[in-house]
Amino acid sequence: MGGSLERERWPPAFRTRDSRNPGELPVGAVRGTRPKRVDANGRPLYWNGDMNMKTKRLRLCIGAGASGTIRRPLRRWLVVLVGIVVGGLFPFQNAHGSDPTTDTELLKLKRAVVANYAAVTSASYQDSLAAANTLRTAVDKFLAEPSERCLRGAREAWVAARVPYSQTEVCRFYDGPIDQAEGMINAWPIDENYIDYVADNSQAGVINAASKFPVLSRELILSLNEKEGKKNISTGFHAIEFLLWGQDLSATGPGNRSWRDYAEGSTNADRRRAYLRIITELLVEHLETVAAAWNDGNKGNYRSDFIGLDPDAALANILKGMGALSGPELAGERLTVPYETKEQEDEQSCFSDNTRSDLIYDAVGIENVYRGRYLAREGRKVEGPGIHDLLLRVDPAFAGTLAAQIEKSVACARSIPQPFDQAILGTSPSPGREAVKKAATALQAQSELIAQAAKVLSIKLNL
């Protein structure tokens, strides 16, 4: 599988300054070949009047005429001096201290950062896959013998699976492997009444539509996802969540679906069991595909292509994931929108009330990539150079600023009270709302700093 690589670079002609604006070209630069004109004394004029440049002032006339009083030896050195000064100006179109593009040490470090990012990402997806497998085992156990205890076990496994998965969200937004599968894995919010019964309609959903959908199969369920509009979601984490918890109609806790929904005697229990089994299997399969794309040693997979990219292109992707998750997704969609609407459904894991934890691990995921480290299962550590190390080389003060902001965002996410859907209620300045707003502000600022980091590293990025 593997995603399609966005190898397109912005056309080289694009610059914020028009490259043909002669005012920007250094003195003495003329296009064309050798000078063709000579002055009255037969000495060459270094100005080709045929070029359509409004650069009379660039004319560097060596010879008689206006500068006839400059003595010959002096003129000779004048030319050389001007040439050296001018020649020296050329590579410095982006001067700020050291020049990143010609620093080979920096290039080596960039490659190391990219390689380590791949390692961190791969470990995160491996963990997500392992946790999804644990979830599947727990679900199978529950479905084999529905009981309160087994339902609780399945719910716990779901919550545990969210921890590594949320840390992988930083790998989204640059058309990598996850971007193609994300709609099947983690799309939200979902239309409850598209999948199963809801409080006001006991007949709702595919599960209860036995006449319209007599056979619940993998293919049917896959085809229903994202049909006719973005959010007819029927697979993925949140579909499973809905089937394990049911609607959250309580102010004091999460959804509270009974295990009996899956036991003989309940309407469509067999269809519900089939649906849950299928979508849990699908989750594992989809994660398998994404993990394989990032696996070390799979020849020709996305990871090998990614590492082979021009380092600046790979870094642009890395920063894009960090920035897009921080700003539009976390600060915007997941914090500002529920803050403004106070709508319960606008929280990421609304059935299980797991949103706060999701947010924390989303922010941690960004920190992982920034620092180049990931704390895997069983205490294993993946460590290496990260974006921080790159920034330290180029602008240590800025590196410190961004590092502090990222730490702050994680802290702000942690300080949101549980559960999230209650934190947003009430009137500002309630403690919950203040905490949500603070987290949104911190993550928005973080997104802007990440955009700035791209500039500091001379990397083209659009957030």
- Interface residues toward other proteins, by CB under 8 A: 6, 8, 10-11, 13-14, 18-21, 25, 28-33, 46, 72, 75-76, 79-80, 83-84, 86-87, 90, 175, 189, 191-193, 198-201, 204, 228-232, 247-249, 328, 331-333, 336-337, 340-341, 343-346, 444, 460, 462-463
Q: How far is the CB of 79 from other proteins (least distance, A)?
A: 5
Closest distance of CB 23 from other proteins, Å: 11
Residue closer to other proteins by CB (options 90, 431) is 90
Least gap, CB of 167 to other proteins (angstroms) = 23
Determine the angle formed by the axes of helices 431-456 and 311-324, rounding to 10 degrees. Answer: 170
* Euclidean distance between CA atoms 295 and 297, whole angstroms: 6
CB 333 within 8 A of CB 359: no
Q: How far is the CB of 93 from other proteins (least distance, A)?
A: 8
Q: How far apart are the first and last CA of the chain?
A: 26
Closer of 56 and 72 to other proteins (Cβ)? 72
C-alpha separations of 137 from 39, 127, 418 in Å: 90, 15, 28
Cβ 436 vs Cβ 416: under 8 Å: yes
Secondary structure class of 86 (helix, strand, coil):
helix
CA distance 363 to 325: 9
The two structure tokens encoding residue 35: 């000078």
Could you tell me the smallest distance in angstroms from the CB atom of residue 339 to other proteins? 8
Cis peptide before 189 (omega within 30 of 0): yes
Nearer to other proteins, 21 or 101 (CB): 21
Nearer to other proteins, 22 or 384 (CB): 22
Specify the amino acid at residue 3.
G
Query: E strands along 272-401, which residues?
Result: 373-375, 381-383
Are 170 and 325 a contacting pair, CB within 8 Å? yes
Pick 239 or 291: Cβ nearer other proteins: 239
Closest separation between CB of residue 166 and other proteins, Å? 20
Minimum distance, C-beta of residue 240 to other proteins, in the bound complex (Å)? 19
Strand 37-38 and strand 44-46: the pairing is antiparallel
Give the nearest distance from C-beta 39 to other proteins in angstroms: 14
Across-strand partners of 61? 45
- The residue (of 136 and 172) whose beta carbon lies closer to other proteins is 172
Select 142 or 173, whichever has its Cβ closest to other proteins: 173
Task: Output the smallest distance, CB 195 to other proteins, in A.
Answer: 12
Instruction: Kindly tell me which of 85 and 284 has the beta carbon lying closer to other proteins.
Output: 85
Strands 44-46 and 373-375: unpaired
SS3 assignment, position 37: strand
CB 197 within 8 Å of CB 205 = yes
How far, in Å, CA of 152 to CA of 18, rounded? 64
Nearer CB in complex with other proteins: 153/328: 328
Look up residue 60 and give its two tokens.
């560097």
The owner of tokens 């947003």 is: 424
Residue with Cβ nearer other proteins (11 or 379): 11
Nearest distance, CB of residue 300 and other proteins, angstroms: 23
426 Rama class: left (phi>0) / alpha (psi -120 to 50) / beta: left
Angle at 186 between CA 433 and CA 308, to 5 degrees: 110
